[in-house]
């Protein structure tokens, strides 16, 4: 038989100073607990707490790479739409206009690629120094 979830329907109210609350928040952020209430229950009930060590520079790098990935995806969508527009073009003027627009898009893409290279270089230097 499956374990049944217990409904938590009892409240425990605690008043803290700002410093106490901040200290609890700081400790909570270093754990794998998803919610402050989960962390607090473990502390109060003396259950084991798994803490994590996070590499801040790697976190920053990953956040930047996620942002750039989104931008690259947008550029890819724009490129696909642009190629579709080229296929629908039937005059030389429309094709020439498409070519000029693609030069601008190419510059944007190359700038984003350069940003990615720079980010990778920075994180590689950080890891090599460790």
Residue 63 and residue 43 share a domain: no
Same domain, 93 and 114: yes
Tens-digit pLDDT profile for residues 79-103: 888 888 888 888 888 888 888 888 8
| Residue that is written with structure tokens 């120094």 in the block | 129
Are 48 and 83 found together in one domain? no
Range of the domain at 18: 14-53
Q: Is the separation of the CB atoms in 114 and 71 below 8 Å?
A: no
Q: Which pLDDT belongs to residue 1?
A: 47
At 15, the pLDDT band (50, 70, 90 cuts) reads: very high
Q: What are phi and psi of 5, to 5 degrees?
A: -70, 135
How many domains is the chain built from?
A: 2
Token pair 């009930």: residue: 45
The pTM (predicted TM-score) of the whole model is 0.45
> What would the two tokens of residue 130 be?
């460790």
Q: Are residues 35 and 99 in the same domain?
A: no
């Amino acid at each position: 038989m499956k374990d049944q979830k217990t409904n938590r329907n009892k409240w425990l109210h605690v008043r803290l100073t700002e410093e106490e609350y901040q200290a609890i928040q700081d400790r909570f952020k270093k754990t794998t607990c998803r919610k402050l209430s989960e962390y607090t229950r473990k502390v109060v009930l003396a259950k084991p707490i798994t803490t994590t060590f996070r590499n801040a520079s790697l976190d920053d790098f990953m956040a930047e790479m996620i942002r750039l990935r989104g931008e690259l995806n947008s550029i890819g969508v724009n490129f696909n739409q642009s190629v579709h527009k080229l296929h629908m073009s039937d005059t030389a003027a429309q094709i020439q206009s498409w070519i000029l627009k693609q030069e601008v898009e190419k510059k944007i893409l190359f700038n984003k690629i350069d940003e990615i290279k720079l980010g990778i270089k920075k994180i590689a230097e950080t890891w090599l120094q460790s």
